[in-house]
Homo-oligomer: A and B are copies of this chain.
Amino acid sequence: MAKDTKVRILNAAETLFAEQGYAQTSMRTITARADVNLASVNYHFGSKKNLIQAVLKRYFDLLMPQVDEALLTVQPRLGAQGVEAVLAALVPPMMTLSQFRSNGTEIFVQLLGRGYNETQGHLRRFIMNGYGETVGNLVAAIRACLPQIPDQQIFWRLHFAIGSFVFSMASSKALKEIAAADYHQQVEIADVINNLVPFVAQGIAGSPVAPD
């Protein structure tokens, strides 16, 4: 074995899952890319479902402790500036994923987007079960910036924000191609995030919506 078979499978799987989606990626494609035997996935991971979770876990275990730490350093401020500060604090932890793996940041967010759309709630439970405390810390930090916004509306806005994030990454390949063709702009993941953070911060911090 050149390198650990388990790691070779994880590396091949995460790339393919991010590019094509979970259901569209077969074990045959994964094992061919990883240059390992077809049966080894089931030997090492038990099933395709477990492999998907193992791929995600590798990233979350790296990211979430950094997020916890980063949230502690944020200077509390009210309003859109405060929200933007919280979101900006998430960027460096996200970026470290590309040190762990080439294009790691992009791959991770694409996996997130795929997971939300394909796995019918499994991903959500996986996150809340394993990393619910970190998620809670993040939500609390944002809520603290917006004492005048009702919890319900913060709830909605956070999900809209996740949508912006996840969608733009899931279709980042197409977006990059369009940006290159129409604006002759070489797009990096950092550019996307730099545009995304203020967009989302503005949306989250907007005036409360009148109740129905």
- Tell me the A residues contacting B by CB distance below 8 Å: 20-21, 23-24, 113-114, 116-118, 120-121, 124, 151-153, 155-157, 159-168, 170-171, 174-175, 178-179, 182-183, 185, 191-192, 194-196, 198-200, 202-207, 209, 212
By a CB distance below 8 angstroms, the chain B residues around A156 are 168, 175, 192, 195-196, 199
By a CB distance below 8 angstroms, the chain B residues around A175 are 156, 159
Which of B152, B163, B196, B206 sits near A183, CB closer than 8 Å? B152
- Asked whether, in the complex, the Cβ of B170 is within 8 Å of the Cβ of A116, the reply is yes
Given known contacts A117-B114, A168-B159, A171-B116, A195 and B153 CB-to-CB distance under 8 angstroms:
yes
Given known contacts A24-B23, A114-B117, A179 and B155 CB-to-CB distance under 8 angstroms:
yes
How far does the alpha carbon of A157 sit from the alpha carbon of B179 in the complex, in Å? 13
By a CB distance below 8 angstroms, the chain B residues around A196 are 156, 160
- Asked whether, in the complex, the Cβ of B212 is within 8 Å of the Cβ of A206, the reply is no
- Asked whether, in the complex, the Cβ of A21 is within 8 Å of the Cβ of B118, the reply is yes
